[in-house]
Amino acid sequence: MNWFNTLAEQIKNTFSDLYTNISEFVIDLARQFEIAFIVDDRWKYIVSGIGSTLLLTFLSLILGVVIGIIIAAIRATHDKQIDEMHPGIGKSLLKFANGFCRCYLTIFRGTPVMVQILIIFFVIMASSRNKMLCGVIAFGLNSAAYVAEIIRGGIMSIDPGQTEAGRSLGLSYVQTMAYIVLPQAFKNILPSLANEFITLLKETSIAGYVGVTDITRGANIIRGITYQSFWPLFAIAAIYLGMVMFFTWLVDLLERRFKNSER
């Protein structure tokens, strides 16, 4: 039985080593946690950043939706109407506006938002001192490009028969849009729009590059003071994840309600 005792002893030692290592590791993490967040109330750097992150996301989305609607209206009208229009100033104007919008979409969807925000902050709005405004404009313009395509997709997804029916009933193009197409399109658009909001929320993490003190910036400040990365980075990862899960839940709720209304 000697071999058995030796083996048992070894297993015990291994486990007690493992236990000591794990408990040391946990104690170490707890100590690091204290240094990262508790000492000098450093958690405030991150918490005060949550407001900036949300404000930046909301304002950017509002700007994005406003510009996005304009672009989508031009693009959808062009796609649906251009063949029926008589040659004239109206038609050339619409063609020009559509071309401009397509350029806009190509540029803003074809370059990284990181580069766009740097260009806005350091070149286009070089003399502006309001970094939040620069952030809102950069993310808003970028988001507008995506929102425009979401809205246009929603409008185009409605069967052309609906428009034809509306027009046959004597409604004008604008009336058909407002009373028949848009209410139906809205249902397709809203969930994608909410997803765009979630994407935007995550993208704002680069706003720190122009000095906006969002939560990523807050974590970086803590990393600068404490020389450790573990807790600050995992903490903000958890906060982003928590926010995204919350908004995803809201979107799901919204989608379910729309589904119910179909019956």
Contacts of 218 (CB under 8 A, 6+ apart): 45, 46, 47, 48, 49, 236
- Of 12 and 44, the one with the shorter C-beta distance to another protein is 44
**41 contacts another protein (rule: CB under 8 A):** yes
Please say whether the beta carbons of 222 and 48 come within 8 A. no
CA dist 126 and 123 (Å) reads: 5
Q: Which of positions 136-165 make contact with another protein (CB under 8 A)?
A: 136
Closest approach, Cβ 83 to another protein, in A, equals: 30
Q: At which residue do the structure tokens 């952030």 appear?
A: 135
Produce one character per residue of 22-40: b if its CB has 16 or more CB atoms within 10 Å, e if not: eeeeeeeeeebeebbbeee
Nearer to another protein, 6 or 128 (CB): 128
Residue 63 in contact with another protein, rule: CB under 8 A: yes
Among 19, 96, 122, 249, binds another protein (CB under 8 A): 122
* Residue 229 in the binding site for another protein (CB under 8 A): yes
For residue 246, the one-letter residue type is: F
- Report d(CA 119, CA 141) in Å as an integer: 12
Q: Does 223 bind another protein (CB under 8 A)?
A: yes
Q: Decide: is 254 part of the binding site for another protein (CB under 8 A).
A: no
Shortest Cβ distance from residue 16 to another protein (Å)?
27
Closer of 51 and 90 to another protein (Cβ):
51
Binding status of residue 256 toward another protein by CB under 8 A:
no
CA distances from 2 to 7, 86, 165 (A): 9, 102, 93
- Decide: is 224 part of the binding site for another protein (CB under 8 A): yes
Contact stretch for another protein (CB under 8 A) within 95-103, 105-113, 168-176, 213-221: 213-221
Please report, as ranges, the residues that interact with another protein according to CB under 8 A. 40-41, 44-45, 48, 59, 62-63, 66, 122, 126-130, 132-133, 136, 209-211, 213, 220-221, 223-225, 227, 229
